[in-house]
Amino acid sequence: MKQYIENIPKAELHIHIEGTFEPELLFKIAKRNNISIPFKSVDELRKAYEFDCLQDFLDIYYQGAKVLQTEEDFYDLTYTYFEKCAVQNVKHTEIMFDPQTHTERGVAFDTVINGISKACEAAQNNFGISSFLIMSYLRHMTEEEAFETLKQSLPYKDKIKAIGLDSSEKGNPPSKFQKVFEASIKEGYIPLAHAGEEGDADYIWEALDLLKIARIDHGNNALQDPELIQEIINRDIALTVCPLSNKALQVVPDLKNHPLKKMMDLGLKVTINSDDPAYFGGQVNQNYIEIQEALDLTKREIYQLAANSFQYSLLDEKDKVKNLQILTGYFQTH
């Protein structure tokens, strides 16, 4: 089964590029930029990755991101992620980046976007991996600040497919960002958002009805509300579920209690993703492997999850069909 999972073609739809920052690379870039970090070694830094909740994690994640300063840093970070995609049979990825984490400390928007998008082009050429970028607004900041980020993004519109909403969920409901989402949609960006990771089902309703999102990041708490479950199914919207993230951030006590299989059985369209793999103990394949073991998922269910990852990607129909045909060929012969 492990080999089956490793070899099956898949897409990853929920990944924060800043969350792929492994301690080894973080130390290397810190040294290059002459920045001192409050940890003596890679091991000591890794030991700090113990979290009680989302905020606990975010505090250390934003700290780590401060090391990123130059276009080369963003390129190296992103290209390193693609190298991991290549060995995991990830054929397509939709990458979130948080411009405000960087612009807030004086790094120019174009430094961030140029570094990341050059790595995306190189990955297409070197590995044949396609990708889209999702510019995420930080929900702990104001809507006015999100509007400023939207403005900064406009010269790079051709490089950005969608917008997202991430960071501290509780106390920062989707309604806080209704106007900036409306304006972003007018600019041609596809709206996506984290919802129902720690926030309750009413945050998911708001994300659907006010932000008009095309996909839900996490969405675990949809299970609190049967009417909401039916609405998500009726709208044919997928959830980008992140099992190891949910375990690390105590959204679920352990993977055996993870609602993924229940979601599938209810008819929800679910995908498997790594969220912030450097911090949560595993890349996307490790997420598939551990949740398969915990919930005793069948090969057909693994195939269904991989199929959802292409079907509910932002790829156009032609590319979805191409990827799904290859995937189905794999399923039929293994």
The residues annotated with a catalytic role in the active site are: 197
Euclidean distance between CA atoms 245 and 9, whole angstroms = 22
Euclidean distance between CA atoms 74 and 334, whole angstroms = 38
Nearest residue by C-beta to ligand ADE?
166
Cα–Cα separations (whole angstroms), residue 162 to 95, 147, 150, 171, 301: 10, 15, 11, 24, 28
Q: Name the binder of 10 from ligand ADE, Zn ion, none, CB < 5-8 A by kind.
A: none
Euclidean distance between CA atoms 249 and 280, whole angstroms = 8
Exposed (0-12), middle (13-18) or buried (19+): which is 300, by Cβ within 10 Å? exposed
Q: Does 206 bind Zn ion (CB under 5 A)?
A: no
Contact 80, 20 (CB under 8 A): yes
Amino acid at position 200, single letter: D
100, 152, 221, 245: which one contacts ligand ADE (CB under 6 A)? 245
Q: Does 16 bind ligand ADE (CB under 6 A)?
A: yes
Minimum Å distance from CB 190 to Zn ion?
16
Q: Does 167 bind ligand ADE (CB under 6 A)?
A: yes
Q: Name the binder of 220 from Zn ion, ligand ADE, none, CB < 5-8 A by kind.
A: none
Minimum Å distance from CB 36 to Zn ion?
29
- Find, among 152, 180, 153, the residue nearest to 165 by Cα: 180
- Find, among 43, 35, 39, 110, the residue nearest to 67 by Cα: 35
Euclidean distance between CA atoms 202 and 209, whole angstroms = 10
54, 208, 248, 264: which one contacts ligand ADE (CB under 6 A)? 54
Q: Does 169 bind Zn ion (CB under 5 A)?
A: no
Q: Name the binder of 19 from Zn ion, ligand ADE, none, CB < 5-8 A by kind.
A: ligand ADE
Write each residue from 181 to 220 as x if it is in contact with ligand ADE (CB under 6 A), else as -, in one continuous string: -------------x--x-----------------------
Q: Which range touches Zn ion (CB under 5 A), out of 46-54, 56-64, 272-280, 293-301?
A: 272-280
Q: Angle, nearest 10°, between helix axes 299-311 and 317-333?
A: 170
- Block residue for tokens 């963003």: 74
Euclidean distance between CA atoms 167 and 177, whole angstroms = 13
Q: Which range touches Zn ion (CB under 5 A), out of 21-29, 249-257, 269-277, 324-332?
A: 269-277
Minimum Å distance from CB 320 to ligand ADE?
26
Q: Name the binder of 197 from Zn ion, ligand ADE, none, CB < 5-8 A by kind.
A: ligand ADE
12, 71, 73, 275: which one contacts ligand ADE (CB under 6 A)? 275
DSSP percent split of the chain into helix, strand, coil, nearest 5: 60, 15, 30
Q: In this structure, how many other beta carbons lie within 10 angstroms of the beta carbon of residue 316?
A: 8
Size of the site for ligand ADE (CB under 6 A): 10
DSSP string, 21-58: --HHHHHHHHHHTT---S-SSHHHHHHT---SSHHHHH
259, 275, 313, 315: which one contacts Zn ion (CB under 5 A)? 275
19, 99, 173, 219: which one contacts ligand ADE (CB under 6 A)? 19
For 88, the enclosing helix (H) or strand (E) is none
Minimum Å distance from CB 15 to Zn ion?
8
Write each residue from 105 to 144 as x if it is in contact with Zn ion (CB under 5 A), else as -, in one continuous string: ----------------------------------------
The residues binding ligand ADE (CB under 6 A) are: 16, 19, 54, 166-167, 194, 197, 245, 275-276
